[in-house]
Amino acid sequence: MQEIGLIGLSVMGVNLALNMADHGVKVSIFNRTVSVIDEVMEKYDHPNFRATYSIEELVKSLSRPRKIMMMVKAGQPVDMLIEQLLPYLEAGDILIDGGNSFFKDTIRREKYLSEKNIFYLGVGVSGGEEGARRGPAIMPGGNRTAYQAVEQIFENISAKAYDEPCCRYIGEDGSGHYVKMVHNGIEYADMQLISEIYMILKEIGGLSNDELQQVFAGWNQNELESYLIEITADIFKVKDGDGYLVDKILDKASQKGTGKWTNLEAIDLGVDISVITSAVNARYMSNLKSERVKVSEMLDAPAKTLTITKEELVELARHSLYVAKIVCYAQGFKLLDKAQEVYNWTLNFDEIARIFRGGCIIRAKFLNDIAAALTMEKGVQNLIMAHFFRNIINQHLPKLREIMTLAVQSGIAVPAMSAALAYIDTYRTADSGANLIQAQRDYFGAHTFERTDQEGSFHYDWTGINE
Ligand code: 6PG
């Protein structure tokens, strides 16, 4: 019988433990607040749970090489737990971090533990509470041989998409947590795009919550089919008193930080992930509620005018959302591409797209198309260049332009949608305005420039031109 130790019985930890136990794995459980262990034992009464009441007891309950999964809060708690475990671990044991840890911490921890002959796996787990219980998407990183010892367990408990487990070995050290971080960045962007489309439909189109519910439910039957579209349709169903719950929820979006990490990382690596950046900024702006209320009274808003039918607006929204989504995924994969070069990983992008097809928050039907495009056109520099996606963009780009025009004329804030459009326009501009920037840099700082007609580095005496 397979066995594993699991430390940290928060919602995610308990659900993962139950999922493993259901799959015939004997799970030794432990939690820092020990009363929780008895509560869990009593509540779930699972024959494959083995309660342990100290770190030492947990470690000793397992046969070597031990497999121990930590499901604790990212950051210092992970380092503290590692130190508590270390005196009891032996060479060859495998420690697994299943939390949303920052990938650089995972790289550091893996190195630290490998010096002590302990294997360390950083494993991204997505899908929230329900995913953990019924099948999450799993992104394991770390030593490949050590991973093989837990591969069967992880594949068994993971979500299945088209009969394939949404779990594949990602790569060395922090790569699993890196991919999870980028997943979260895409998640932020996807949510922001949907919320901008919601505002366009509501404010310009005047759609009611019932109509919005129908629109999103309908979109969930076509190319936009995805978990986030599905739950959006559900949200518009929920009534509260004489109105709808969604209208009574304060418009301040929180965040735990993974979107911010993705952005800091992208800036560090010099990759434009503007749609994800706009999504994080939009959450910051959303928190300035009282200032927004004040400014809404200070600055005039244009009239909201709809020059097309509601049905036409809904169709424009559908196609525009699809194009913007493609851009946000393209940016995420572009960041992964740069990361593999910088951190010396070999990432398999079509496999990553396959993992994302089930269990995780960004699961979507079109990840099948992404996986297919990345398989057929291995090495393509950007998803936007893949035949399938460039055809879609060419087909629907005029609609994105049209809806952006409507939004701008009506004064609806669409930072992520417009970032997607700007990215496409920037990317398809063969001759940009950067020549002028180079001239300016050379003018004020003699920073030199390259020429289109000659090889080499040049400087011009700009200040002499007025003499
Ligand atoms: C997942 C989610 C999860 C994340 C929450 C909250 O893949 O299951 O990404 O890991 O923690 O969605 O994120 P924010 O609080 O930052 O919105």
The type of residue at 59 is V
pLDDT at 467 over 80: no
Instruction: Give percent of the chain above pLDDT 90.
Output: 98
pLDDT at 272 over 90: yes
Question: What 3-state DSSP class applies to 46?
Answer: coil
Say what the pLDDT of residue 466 is: 74
Ligand 1 pocket, residue 447 CB under 6 Å: no
Q: Report the interhelical angle of 209-219 vs 310-343 (nearest 10°).
A: 50
Q: How does pLDDT run across 233-255, given as a tens digit for each residue?
A: 999 999 999 999 999 999 999 99
CA 388 to chain centre: 23
Which atom number of ligand 1 is nearest to the Cα of residue 191? Answer: 17
Question: What 3-state DSSP class applies to 167?
Answer: strand
Ligand 1 pocket, residue 361 CB under 6 Å: yes
Q: What is the largest CA-CA distance in the chain?
A: 90
pLDDT range class, residue 200, cuts 50, 70, 90: very high
Average pLDDT over residues 416-427: 98
pLDDT range class, residue 411, cuts 50, 70, 90: very high
Select which of 110, 187, 196, 265 is catalytic.
187
pLDDT range class, residue 465, cuts 50, 70, 90: confident
Average pLDDT over residues 4-21: 97
43 is catalytic: no
The type of residue at 255 is Q
Say what the pLDDT of residue 225 is: 98
Tokens of 38: 């008895």
Q: How does pLDDT run across 345-391, given as a tens digit for each residue?
A: 999 999 999 999 999 999 999 999 999 999 999 999 999 999 999 99
**Per-residue DSSP letters for 248-293?**
HS-S-----SHHHHHHHHHHHHT---HHHHHHHHHHHHHT-HHHHH
The type of residue at 377 is E
Q: How does pLDDT run across 275-319, given as a tens digit for each residue?
A: 999 999 999 999 999 999 999 999 999 999 898 999 999 999 999
Closest among 70, 88, 71, 95 to 146, alpha carbons compared: 95
- Return the C-alpha torsion angle 338, 334, 187, 267, nearest 10: 50
Ligand 1 pocket, residue 126 CB under 6 Å: yes
Say what the pLDDT of residue 166 is: 98
Rounded to the nearest 5 percent, the helix, strand and coil shares of the chain are 60, 10, 30
327 vs 330: CA distance, rounded Å: 5
Which atom number of ligand 1 is nearest to the Cα of residue 362? Answer: 7
Q: How does pLDDT run across 385-399, given as a tens digit for each residue?
A: 999 999 999 999 999
Determine the distance separating the centroid of ligand 1 and the alpha carbon of 71, expressed in angstroms: 14
All structural domains of the chain: 4-173 (3.40.50.720), 180-427 (1.10.1040.10)
